[in-house]
Amino acid sequence: MRQQPPDFGDEEPEETVDAPDALAAVPLLEPVGGIPPVTSTPEALADVLRRMTNGAGPIAIDAERASGYRYSQRAYLVQMRRTGAGTAIIDPIALPDLSEPGGALQDVEWVLHAASQDLPCLAEVGMVPQKIFDTELAGRLAGFERVGLAAMVERVLGYGLEKGHSAADWSTRPLPDPWLRYAALDVELLVDLRDALEAELDKQCKLGWAQEEFAAVLATPPREPRAEPWRRTSGIHRVRNRRQLAAVRELWQSRDELARTRDIAPGRVLPDSAIIAAVLAAPADIDALRKLPVFSGPRQRRLASRWWDALVAAAKLPDSALPTATVSNGENVPPPNRWAERDVVAAGRLARVRAVLNAEASRLHMPVENLLEPALSRRLAWSPPVELQVEAVTAALRAGGAREWQISVVADELTDALREPAP
């Protein structure tokens, strides 16, 4: 039987939490107890570990990276807070091995916001939890439209968080006090937010669903590197032929090698827009390249020979070595906008599947992508089971990684949608 949570009707989920008026949010300007000192020695770390293990309840965890500044996605700061233990800010550059606190706190529930973003960099320093509560994911399932940490804290708890340093270069040393204040405030109310969201999910009969989702986040293996990451270059849709694609690839790979060597974000070495501009302009020589926007600057003029070599290498490739105009996703599932010309029957199935999922997601007050992964719904619509029975669709969903709660909600409707309607 399909699981039936309460029918929410026209109720707006973000109103279901007994939250203070957002207009009356109290600015949260200082952590309780002030800004904690940065933990950067083994002795200080041992003291943090003692306090955290003697604390009570779940532990709030956050990590700061330097995305947009550094090539790596490593953690440059780790923050913890637990009832009875206070807040700790740890420098994983000075202390790159945090497996001891990670192991000692492994059995405690970790509260994170957008856990899938922080878990990989925490694992790099030896911190791997056994149980989590993801406040961002909980917010999605509960029906909140804005699920950023500041928006959630304001809406649910009535406090205003300053988010001015979210995009800072956290590899900077020493870290300024305003940044450290921001980092400490990120975990100040995380457990309180967790408790309020747990109560809301329980009220909506979705707490079991959330727990399945949290377990799935923990069980997700590290993402495999993309086969052809250069194809994600912004603006590549403007490139019209295989020779130009080869030039994009050569410039992207040359930039990536330099960025990795220097640990600089690739976009700071050479913007995507400059790669596309150079390919479309097809400069006749290195001097012409240096006259293009971006390449005329002093830093790019010093690197001009590197970029020119990449363009020349692409120009010399034989036709057999040129990249294809499109890339396969490995499953022979075309982009949705090509379905009608490839298989009109499958296009009809996809339209019905989407309609069913959108209606169900609307009824449950959650984003459709949280109801079922879009890639899985497309695979199912393109190649449905031979026997269109609920049992076969259920098996296909389970094999595709759908959670049990998702299967219980959508399997019946998807089976009907996959069947061809009567003439």
**Structure tokens of 271?**
């913007």
Position 392 scores a pLDDT of 97
Do residues 29 and 227 touch, judged by C-beta distance below 8 A? Answer: no
CA angle 78, 80, 81 (to 5 degrees): 160
The arrangement of secondary structure in 14-219, i.e. its CATH architecture, is 2-Layer Sandwich (3.30)
Cα–Cα dist 386/98, whole Å: 50
Give the CA distances from residue 70 to residues 258, 262, 267, 397, in Å, rounded to whole numbers and listed in that order: 12, 9, 10, 38
Q: Please state the rounded mean pLDDT for residues 388-409.
A: 97
Asked if the model's pLDDT at residue 274 lies above 90, the reply is yes
Query: Which residue in the block uniquely carries the two structure tokens 């959650």?
Result: 366
Model confidence at 54, in pLDDT bands (50, 70, 90)?
A: very high
Would you say domain 336-418 falls under CATH 1.10.150.80? yes
**Structure tokens of 14?**
């973000």
pLDDT per residue over 81-104, tens digit each?
999 999 999 999 999 999 999 999
Model confidence at 287, in pLDDT bands (50, 70, 90)?
A: very high
Intrachain domains 14-219 and 336-418 with the same fold: no
Cα–Cα dist 44/37, whole Å: 10
Closest-CA residue to 67 (of 203, 207, 266): 266
Q: Please state the rounded mean pLDDT for residues 291-320.
A: 95
**What are the sequence ranges of the domains in the chain?**
14-219, 229-321, 336-418
Query: Which residue in the block uniquely carries the two structure tokens 């009824």?
Result: 363
Model confidence at 13, in pLDDT bands (50, 70, 90)?
A: very low
Closest-CA residue to 307 (of 260, 247, 266): 247
> Within 13 A of 73's CA, how many CA atoms are on the CB side?
8
Cα–Cα dist 159/153, whole Å: 6
Fold held by 229-321: DNA polymerase; domain 1 (1.10.150)
Position 1 scores a pLDDT of 42
Q: Please state the rounded mean pLDDT for residues 389-393.
A: 97
